[in-house]
Structure 1
Amino acid sequence: MNTKNFILVCIALMISFTAFSQQGKQKRADTLFNKFSFVKAAKLYRELVQDNYNRDYATRKLADSYAFLRDPRNASRFYKSVVKQKNVPIEYYYKYAQSLRGMKKYDESQIWLKRFKDSGGVVSSNDFSKDIKFITSVFGAKQQYFLDRVRFNSKYSDFGAFEHDGKVYFASARDEGVAVKRLYGWNEQPFLDVYVTDAGSKRNVDYTAKVKGDVNSIYHDGPVTITKDGKTMYFSRNNFKDDIEVKDKKGLTNMKIYRATLVDSLWTNVEDLSINGDNFSTQHAALNIDDTKLYFSSDRPGSIGGSDIWCVDIAPDGSLSNLQNLGNVINTESAEGFPYINNEGVLFFSSDGHTGLGLLDIFASIKGEDEETIVDVINLGVPVNSNKDDFAFTMNADGITGYFASNRQGGRGSDDIYAFHREPVLHVEGVVTDAINTSPVKGAKITLFDENDNQVAYMETDENGYFQINIDRNKDYKIVANQDKYISDYREFTSRNIQTELITISANLLLNPVQDVVKLAEIDLNTIYFNFDSHKIRPDAREELDKIVSLMQNDYPEMVIRIESHTDSRGALSYNDKLSIDRANATYEYLLSKGIDPTRITEHQGFGERRLTNGCEDGQKCEEKDHQLNRRTQFIVVKME
């Protein structure tokens, strides 16, 4: 490799590294946003905007982050830029109107609300009739949660599902199969016990699935939470001594939080915690990410309402200190309970005091710029919340799936466990590259079409040749790249039947310059094709190759070409790489055998299945004629004179 080519390769690698590092930053920002960590997400989106990387998308998400942070000044600042973008979703007119409302710019807000309505948006009659929080409309713009079936509910009460190390722990009143059932006088159901089953299990869970050890008693036990190392369990239990319930001054039996340790696969060494008392309840344990804080609900003295969310520090020796009420942003004069902390430090809880859809609703907290102070709460909306009690929300480590409980209609028992998954925004992204020097093509026009060839979106690539467009799931698309002095390229792809957690579909595009590089198809020559799993030159391919020979020997004696060979997607990637090289070699040898000087063929390369002409990727159902289009060799003119 000469010095010039070496420098070009190094530059290309540096550009690629920069692009991928920016892609990684965007994906991290999206992950933080989806986990309600809006302060950290906003910081990354600001950096992306400053770096001019996928600027339109980053600006939208930055504005949304400020909206969630109850910062209408910054939200409106960035929404002002967003609404000027080409083909911006009309919901952003509404969001901008709401942020202006938050700054009390009522006249300007009405202008953008009218713009939203004139663009086809539907506005409730009371949307601006009172000074509602603009953040509510931002959050409710699109359904985020979708329900999945849980197979281990019973006809009794089931709730508090918590996933740890591939197991799901939950509280249940099912005590079927036991000869003597002890019934709880309040609702004539058996007392709660703690059960465990494999995550994703389809089998029924009976009394044999109770956790082993000393956690389950003759009274109520559960729900539970477990430390990250899997060695310590915190769980709720009725206050009793010597198998007799301890009553408070009102004659009621309260709840306590206990701690157990795992010894030889048994949960044992149960201890009463110092935060408990006989005259108030302490229950619904939850741990922060590093197990240094214990959150719980309690109606202890100092509570604002019927029960509040509290927290306490956990020392390395297990002692508890610094008892704190979380304050009146979280707690109301009514009841709050069932706290849960996700991996980004966001508190989820249930309340019947905050504005909701029914009785108990599930809410998420919003932290301010200092990442410590809770400034607001968000109702998670439907379908997580209903007009009944919705509670015991937990989120798995992936930040996308989890569980909650509800007594809504349609369940199997009094309380049922529901699984959920979130559907993060799905987008198609890629890099448009110059086919000759592999440098990114800045300002390439990207057009997205649906399956009926209707234009869905339009944008231009950034300085790194990068583009990203939000798309819907379960749709078929075609994406086309155009640029002056280049021959256009396109790809067809689908977002059907893809995994929920997938947020990116890749669609890189390759442009051949018109002036310096011309495909032979421009002079009425066709690409040649190969049979499946073969590099043998077919009779129809020989005819096309003979035309090339004639052109190079008779019509264009100075013509210099490049050979590029490809495969379909079937077979292993490494095997297809070799097969495409064999096809390139076979094509090259054929031309040499007809008298073409090897110096007039600059390269003969194989690209395997990396440059498919259509959407026939691994796992996609395609007919043979579609696969045939990918088993090809193309000829690129490098020099004409």
Structure 2
Amino acid sequence: MKLKKYITVYIVLLFNLCLFAQQSKVKKADNLFNKFAFVDAAEAYKDLINKDYQADYASRRLADCYTFMRNPDSALVYYQKTVEQPNIPIEYYYKYAQALRGVKNYKESRVWLKKFKKSGGKLKDVKFLKDDNFITSIFNAKPNYFLSNVDFNSKYSDFGAYEHQNKIYYTSAQDEGVSTKHLYGWNKEPFLDVYVTDKDAKTSKPFYKSKLPGDVNSIYHDGPVTISPDGKTMYFSRNNFIEKTLKKDKKGISNLKIYKASLIDSVWTNVEELKFNSDEYSCGHPALNRDGTKLYFASDMPGALGGSDIFYVDIDSNGNFGAPVNLGDVVNTDENEVFPFINNEDVLFFSSEGHPGLGLLDVFATSTNKNKDIVSVINLGIPVNSSKDDFSFTMNPDGLTGYFASNRRGGKGSDDIYAYNRIPDLKVEGFIIDAVNSKPIAKATVILYDDSNNEITKIESDDLGFYSITIERNNDFVITAEKNKFITGTEKFTSKKLKVSDIKIKQDIILNPIEDVVLLAELNTIYFDFDKYNIRPDAAKELDKVVNLMTNEYPKMTIKLESYTDSRGTDAYNIDLSVNRAKSTYNYLISKGIKPERIVSYEGFGEQKLTNDCDGSKNCLESQHQLNRRTQFIIIKMK
């Protein structure tokens, strides 16, 4: 018996481990996707498909990954499977059409574009005639960012917000509070300086008290900054000014250069110019990758395709810099590319005037292939981008929050910093539960419908009865669960009025077993005398039939017992009386050799569920009251 118990415990633990592993894989895949790490995300979604866990959902995501990696052949395979899913969102008709165009199957592409349009999708035919690139950003389809102004914006230019170790470093022309202002002739604003504020500061300091202490700030433009992973080295942009000397190129222009400073006794000092700078061109907007081995920057140095381009240099273990490398024509155009940023998944973000956008500078992200080669760029869409300049995009390690700057309307003035929260995926999840014994039901079919009763997706609960489905926000839903020998369970829920931080809706579904009508005919209800709970002789005969069925004909059958009273007496008294009737019935069956585990429950419900209208509002015969003083047998499992 001990061995059997240990085996059971081991199996339960194994199921729990499998469930945890499956859930973790979905979460990992989604996190990678949300952080634009599409190569790794694709592998994670493949694994889910191979294990047949949320395969429909994983197929959609995998197709999107291949789209962003500019791999139309692979995207096509999974979009083809996706559009066959029942009641798939119509945006996948459009994505499938674009993938078909990517493999030059224009005829079939037009078929699906028409289907997309007929289903209510909006498109501009002229755009499709001119756009030879099959990639379109799903992030443009619907806004998935919430924006807010930060409280340290000023009426002057503020940008370059960058979070490091619970502090926010930013660049600003907000040099108020000092008696003498050094003004920039271009716009008559103070020159830019680097400021720092605590991330969780309750109140804002006066601007001049937030200036970065040390030697980084000068009388000319300084910032934005990036900081090494160990927090000891800061790289920053500055006009060509060092040792109190402003240097200019042959045309009399003072270009930007990148400098570094060291943190000594909480002060940034020992400012040094990086060796790849030049008086004859600009290098600025430095950004480090996660491990500090590459420094990205914008420059119009020789080798740029036009305007300023995004370059990088390698940094070795001794802090030495390699030769600048141009990122190539997938990223760079003949216009300006500026403000690079690398997130924790080595995805490059930057602003560009040259890539198709909403106007002026737009923020873009890059997509890479398995070899980590950049193969496409993705416009982040609204509300990050606008018809104005949108730039200096940064992302925190969580992949959901960060900052960017814009000179759009509605700010305090000039360039303003905006904090963003990306909307995380929302899931509905829970357990399919047996109403009788509260145990989970494995392999139940779970179907999600919209509020118009259109099927959205269909999955199976796992071995522990658990299910999880990614859903849209701001919608009403109906969800059902089906399982052989159970009555279909249905629940309604909504994803409206949720907080942005809400990522999960818990919705268990309770299923009631289907009673076997033929067999129940043999399990006759037993009755009790008024105010008694002893087993009468006629009841004993019926109970002996139950024993015979459970012993000889259905040796694996399990049942539950429900006992009731008539309406006479107080509610509390009747509950106690019915409990005693259930217990008497249970004890009789056990005394005849039925094992306790085959009776999953015995409960009393007082005068609930009367079989007639003898509820005390009218006079009833004793024979009518008798029908309510009973114990019923409910079959849970027959085999």
TM-score range, shorter chain: 0.7 to 0.9
Matched with 1:56 is 56
Distance 1:313 1:595, change over 3 A: same
Distance in structure 1 (CA, Å) of the matches to 2:559 and 2:492: 28
2:233 corresponding residue in structure 1: 232
Is the contact between residue 563 and residue 588 of structure 1 (CA under 8 Å) also seen in structure 2?
no
Amino acid at match of 2:359: G
Equivalent residue, structure 1, for 2:458: 459
Q: Which has the larger radius of gyration?
A: 2
1:214 aligns with 2:215: yes
Change (3 A) 1:553 1:250: farther
Q: Describe how 1:305-344 pairs up with structure 2 within 5 A.
A: 305-344=306-345
- 1:102 equivalent in structure 2: 102
Q: Which amino acid in the other structure matches residue 488 of structure 1?
A: T
Query: How far, CA to CA, are the matches of 1:141 and 1:524 in structure 2?
Result: 62
Deviation at 1:429, TM superposition (A): 2.8
Structure 1 pair 301–127 and aligned structure 2 pair: CA distance change class (3 A):
closer
User: Does the aligned pair in 1 maintain the 2:276–2:323 contact within 8 Å?
Assistant: no
Q: 1:594 to 1:463 in 2, by over 3 A?
A: closer
The answer to whether the 8 A contact 1:400-1:501 is kept is no
Q: After TM superposition, give the deviation of residue 160 of structure 1 in Å.
A: 0.2
Residues 470-501 of structure 1 show CA distances to partners (whole Å, capped at 9, x for unaligned) of: 32324554533122311334555553554535
Report the CA distance between 1:201 and its aligned residue: 4.1
Q: After superposition, give the CA deviation of every residue in 1:141-199 in whole Å (9 maximum; x if it has no partner).
A: 33232212322110000000001111111000011111111111111101111111122
1:114-139: per-residue Cα shift (whole Å, max 9, x none)? 21122222222324222432212545
CA distance in 2, matches of 1:476, 1:444: 20
With over 3 angstroms needed to count, the CA separation of the structure-2 counterparts of 1:303 and 1:593, relative to structure 1, is closer
2:432 matched to which residue of 1?
432
1:132 corresponding residue in structure 2? 132
Give the equivalent residue in structure 2 for 1:579.
none
TM-score normalized by the length of structure 2 = 0.81
1:213-266 CA distances to partner (integer Å, 9 max, x unpaired)?
111111111111112222221111111244232111111111111111222221
Instruction: After superposing the two structures, state which structure 1 stretch, 381-390 or 455-464, moved more.
Output: 455-464
Closer/same/farther in 2, CA of residues 546 and 269 from structure 1, 3 Å limit: farther
What code does the residue aligned with 2:112 have?
W
* Aligned residue type for 2:460: T
Deviation track 1:74-104 (CA, whole Å, cap 9, x = no partner) reads 1111111111111211111111111111111
Distance 2:36 2:427 in 1: 20
Distance 1:640 1:380 in 2: 58
- Report Cα offsets for 1:41-61 as digits up to 9, x if no partner: 111111111111111111111
Q: In structure 1, list runs of 5 or more residues that go unmatched.
A: 526-542, 565-585, 606-633
State the Cα distance separating 1:508 from its structure 2 match: 4.0
Larger mean Cα displacement after TM superposition, 257-266 or 411-420: 257-266
Cα pair 2:533 2:580 within 8 Å, conserved:
no
Distance 1:549 1:444, change over 3 A: farther
Maintained 8 Å contact 2:87/2:454: no
More displaced stretch, 590-599 vs 335-344: 590-599
**What is residue 224 of structure 2 aligned with on the other side?**
223
Matches of 1:225 and 1:147 in 2, distance apart?
Answer: 23
Distance 2:432 2:53 in 1: 14
Greater mean deviation of Cα atoms: 194-203 or 415-424: 194-203
Alignment of 1:303-382 (within 5 A): 303-370=304-371, 372-382=372-382
Cα 1:55/1:431, change in 2 over 3 Å = farther
Q: Who is 1:121 aligned against? A: 121
SS in 2 for 1:134: coil
Is the deviation greater in 279-288 or in 137-146? 137-146
In 2, Cα distance between the equivalents of 1:389 and 1:267? 31
Contact kept? 1:361, 1:390, Cα under 8 Å: yes
- Residues of 2 paired with 1:98 and 1:159: CA distance? 36
Per-residue CA deviation, residues 530-567 of structure 1 (Å, 9 max, x unaligned), is: xxxxxxxxxxxxx9x99999998786564876699xxx
Amino acid at match of 1:65: C
Distance apart, 1:505 and its partner CA: 3.1
* Aligned position for 1:597: 587
Alpha-carbon spacing, 1:128–1:636, altered in 2? closer, same or farther (3 Å): same
Q: 1:473-492 to 2 correspondence within 5 Å?
A: 473-475=473-475, 477-491=477-491
RMSD: 3.6
TM-score (norm 1): 0.80
Report the count of equivalent residues: 570
Q: Distance in 2 between matches of 1:410 and 1:233?
A: 32
Residue type matched to 1:153 in 2?
N
SS in 2 for 1:135: coil
Q: Give the Cα–Cα distance (whole angstroms) in 1 for the partners of residues 402 and 139 of structure 2.
A: 19
Deviation of residue 382 (structure 1)?
1.2
Matched, 1:294 2:284: no
- Identity rate, percent: 52
- Asked if 2 retains the 8 angstrom alpha-carbon contact of 1:68 and 1:139, the reply is no
Query: What is the CA–CA distance in structure 1 between the aligned matches of 2:351 and 2:416, rounded to whole Å?
Result: 16
Match of 1:165 in 2: 165
Conservation of the 8 A alpha-carbon contact between 2:445 and 2:483: yes
Aligned-residue offset at 1:458: 4.6
Tell me: CA distance 1:637–1:304, structure 2 relative to 1, closer, same or farther (3 Å).
same
Partner SS, residue 209 of structure 2: helix
What stretches of structure 2 of length at least 5 have no aligned partner? 548-557, 563-575, 602-631
235-244 or 62-71: bigger deviation: 235-244
Note if contact 1:430-1:468 (Cα within 8 Å) is conserved in structure 2.
yes
Q: How far off is 1:637 after superposition? A: 5.4
Q: 1:437 to 1:425 in 2, by over 3 A?
A: closer
Q: Which amino acid aligns with 1:395?
A: M
Q: Distance in 2 between matches of 1:394 and 1:638?
A: 58
Query: Cα offset for 1:313?
Result: 1.2
Within 1, Cα distance between the matches of 2:203 and 2:561? 57
- Kindly provide the amino acid, as one letter, of the partner of residue 587 in structure 2: D
Cα gap change, 1:368 to 1:517, in 2 (>3 Å): farther
Deviations 1:253-309 (A, max 9, x none): 111111112222211222221122222111101000101111111112222211111
- In structure 1, C-alpha distance between the alignment counterparts of 2:59 and 2:95, rounded to whole Å: 13
Change (3 A) 1:367 1:552: farther
Matched letter for residue 298 of structure 1 = S
Q: Is the Cα contact below 8 Å between 1:151 and 1:202 reproduced in 2?
A: no
Q: Relative to 1, partners in 2 of residues 1:336 and 1:8: Cα closer, same or farther, differing over 3 Å?
A: same
Equivalent residues in 2 for 1:218-617, closer than 5 Å: 218-370=219-371, 372-432=372-432, 440-448=441-449, 450=451, 454=453, 457-461=456-460, 464=463, 467-475=467-475, 477-491=477-491, 493-496=493-496, 498-514=498-514, 556=543, 558=546, 596-597=586-587, 599=590, 602=597
Distance 1:292 1:552 in 2: 84
1:415 Cα offset (Å): 0.6
Contact in 1 for aligned 2:534/2:584 (Cα 8 Å)? no
In the alignment, residue 11 of structure 2 is paired with which amino acid? Answer: I
Q: Judge which range, 32-41 or 242-251, deviates more.
A: 242-251
Per-residue CA deviations over 1:377-436 (Å, capped at 9, x if unaligned) read: 111111111111111000011101111111112221111111111113322134435676
User: Matched residues in 1 for 2:175 and 2:633: separation?
Assistant: 73
38 and 318 in structure 1: CA distance in 2 versus 1, 3 angstrom threshold: same
| Contact 1:553–1:596 (8 Å) recurs in 2 | no
From the superposition, tell whether residues 13 and 498 of structure 1 become closer, same or farther in structure 2 (CA, over 3 Å): farther
Q: Name the SS of the counterpart of 1:45 in structure 2.
A: helix
